[in-house]
Amino acid sequence: MDFICYSEFCSKEYVNLLLTVYFLFLGFYAVAETFVHVIHKISPALKHSTVREFSYSLPWKNEKQVISFNQADIVSWLFSIISIIWYSLSKHWVANNIIGLAFSVQGVSLISLGSYQVGCILLGGLFIYDIFWVFGTDVMVTVAKSFDAPIKLLFPKNFLAEHYTFSMLGLGDIVIPGIFIALLLRYDIDRCKRLRLPRNTPYFTTTLIAYTVGLIATIFVMHTFQAAQPALLYLVPACVGASALQSLLLGDFSQLISYEEKGEEPKPTTPSSPKTPKKVDNNNKKNVSNEKPVAQPESPRTTTPKRKKKV
């Protein structure tokens, strides 16, 4: 049914245009949110500039929406708009990679695995999934080549050629290992606190190097055999194997396997009856607090004469 709808009512150009507009809309926010942190590192003056506010209201909401921004945010918005326009007009591979990397960074920052075991299970499942859809069918390669949206990274095979031919790397091959490496970074911080060690990141550093080696191996095999390769075939053994080997060298294997991230527990609140706030004049409050209480004279007591009993 979906195939009939696609072939009769939706041409490839319209679907491609719709996906491009959708990803460019999300790409504006992704690039702006990613680049603003670069601006904070480059120019602290822009980071601490005056914060301004802009409020607007939507017809279906009663409350006003407030947007706070400073000069660093304005610069990041301009850079994001330039990147979006550059990609829309030229489809240049550099503009494509800027938007794709911004998607990857935001994906890693927003997704958390929760535990090391969950990360290993997820990587193991995607390891089999990636191998099947690349070697077993041509669906993955066809989808990657059909859509022009910035959902992949492009690398020219030959910079000296008149017309570039590109090697492609899906964003999932960056985000999935990236959230696993981010989990190991948090484990490094937790381990240093637990053992009272100086700040060091052995798991993060080792796994990041292993990921880089696996990525280089993927590109090397791709260029050697001139065929698409499932990147997770090389990245998953590199990341999981490097972290497990590092834990064996540090004698920390059982702690790593049982590691789970602890979320912040909400503070318990006791129900209380609502109290109506009272308006207090600060000037009168000061005057009242400084004055001493004055003793008021007692009111005279009135007594009624007693009647004598008649005998």
Spell out the residues 6+ positions from residue 66 whose beta carbon is closer than 8 angstroms to its own.
53, 54, 55
3-state SS class at 205: helix
Residue 262 and residue 112 in contact, taking contact as beta carbons nearer than 8 Å = no
How many CB atoms neighbour CB 181 within 10 A? 21
User: Residue 130 catalytic?
Assistant: yes
Phi, psi of 62 (to 5 degrees): -80, -35
233: nearest Cα among 143, 123, 90? 123
CA distance 151 to 100: 6
The half-sphere exposure of 278 on its side-chain side, counting CA atoms within 13 A, is 4
As beta bridge partners, residue 53 has 68
From 2, 73, 130, 252, the catalytic residue? 130
- Kindly give the residue spans of alpha helices, DSSP state H, lying in 132-267: 139-146, 172-195, 202-225, 232-250, 253-257
CA distance 55 to 75: 20
User: Residue 73 catalytic?
Assistant: no
Spell out the residues 6+ positions from residue 33 whose beta carbon is closer than 8 angstroms to its own.
76, 102, 106
Rg value, the chain, Cα: 33
153: nearest Cα among 103, 111, 110? 103
Q: How far is CA 290 from the centre of its chain?
A: 55
From 173, 188, 252, 281, the catalytic residue? 173
Residues labelled catalytic: 130, 173
